[in-house]
Amino acid sequence: MKRVAVIGVGLTKFGELWETSFSQLFVEAGAMAINDAGIDGKDVEAIYVGNMSGGRFVDQEHISCLIADHAGLTPIPATRVEAACASGGLAIRQGVMSILSGFHDIVVVGGVEKMTDVVTEKTTQTLATASDSEWEAFMGMTFPGLYALIARRHMHEYGTTREQLAMVAVKNHENAIHNPYAQFHSKITVEDVLRSPLVADPLRLLDCSPITDGAACVVLASEEKAREFVDNPVYITGSGQASSTIALHDRKKITVTDATVNAAKEAYARAKREPRDIQVAEVHDAFTIGEILAIEGLGFVEIGKGGKATEEGETAIGGRIPVNTSGGLKAKGHPVGATGVAQVVEIVLQLRGEAGKRQVDADVGLTHNVGGSGGTAVVHILEK
């Protein structure tokens, strides 16, 4: 696969941003990315926006036009991309493909979600639309419930412990302390997780990612064009996308996310890399069991060994494969449409050596973004 360069990145603060509107979030992240790239608005040839559900969260459809308008980038073509919680990762992929096709040389890719303007019950209902509405959501199933089923089965099949799940949250909160954009900057302990309110057995409140507002943005360029603007581009050398059944009951095995496995295979093949080559990763930990499924499906550890690897510190900063140095969805926050783009921002900062106190030594990184309970997965490989 040819290389597409990331030449600029931008990120808003993640959290409950009551004073900031939906469009302001995207404009802020976009302006940061354009300034970081050293380009002008007139250099941008297309916009791709990851957004799961602006219609339900802020009563706004026609997101693509709104963004182009409020960013002052009309008449540039703008396209909204939706794949539930994988909307941001898929928007990145669409931007990559538009450059690889030769159709564009410079594009802006962003993701945005404003989730706190509605009551929690509506947020839960909106997120549930990423499951099978007829067979899961209509029956009262929520995403904590779906991932609780996965967690309980994983514990049964592989001996994963309740404490090992908690260790994922503890690690990611520790990492987020050093991320100024993260929603949470507080240390937690395993005991804190185990004593937090029960949401869906065995998952507790501190196993679950929060409701979050935020936006993230990157500027992508062809390899030739990138040289005109920056000296330190990070290249997307591999990209993979795969689908699975939307409902858990149709899957052969709910403890293995086959969309992750298949998307990773494509990304590794295109980048001519293997799991052992990855030195830092941002993975989809909407729930603590999600990170364990991710590191197994991506090939970092054997299936069933994710809990033990976490317990032994393999995924911590300083470990064999640092995972979610940003704090992950769990502690950085999870504005669903923005998450996949924010993951790319973190890996770019790591590969550029600009991650501050959470910096790791890495030349090759990976992002992993999941839609729903695993119906969609998008994996990107990035290199210096």
- Report pLDDT digits (tens) over 150-191: 999 999 999 999 999 999 999 999 999 999 999 999 999 999
In order of 139, 197, 287, the CA distances from 208 in angstroms are 21, 11, 5
Q: Does the N-terminal peptide bond of residue 144 adopt cis geometry, omega within 30 degrees of 0?
A: no
User: What's the pTM value of the predicted model, to 2 decimals?
Assistant: 0.97
- Of the candidates 154, 173, 284, 334, the residue annotated as catalytic is 334
Domains 4-119+211-234 and 130-209+236-383 share a fold: yes
Q: CA-CA distance, 374 to 197, in Å (whole number)?
A: 25
Domain ranges of the chain: 4-119+211-234, 130-209+236-383
pLDDT in tens, 226-252: 999 999 899 999 999 999 999 999 999
Asked if residue 84 lies in contact with residue 126, where contact means CB atoms within 8 angstroms, the answer is no
* Amino acid 2: pLDDT: 77
**Residue 334 falls in the annotated catalytic set:** yes
Q: CA-CA distance, 96 to 90, in Å (whole number)?
A: 10
**In the CATH hierarchy, which top-level class contains the domain 4-119+211-234?**
alpha beta
- Does residue 166 sit in helix, strand or coil? helix
How are beta strands 106-114 and 364-371 bridged, if at all? unpaired
> Is CATH 3.40.47.10 the classification given to domain 130-209+236-383?
yes
Residue 88, CA atoms < 13 Å, CB-side half-sphere:
29
The dihedral over CA atoms of 152, 167, 258, 376, expressed in degrees to the nearest 10, equals 100
**Ranges of the chain whose pLDDT falls below 70:** none
* Amino acid 232: pLDDT: 87
* Amino acid 211: pLDDT: 96
**Residue 156 falls in the annotated catalytic set:** no
Burial class from Cβ neighbours inside 10 Å (0-12, 13-18, 19+) for residue 161 reads middle
CB atoms within 10 A of CB 34: 22
Asked if residue 362 lies in contact with residue 236, where contact means CB atoms within 8 angstroms, the answer is no
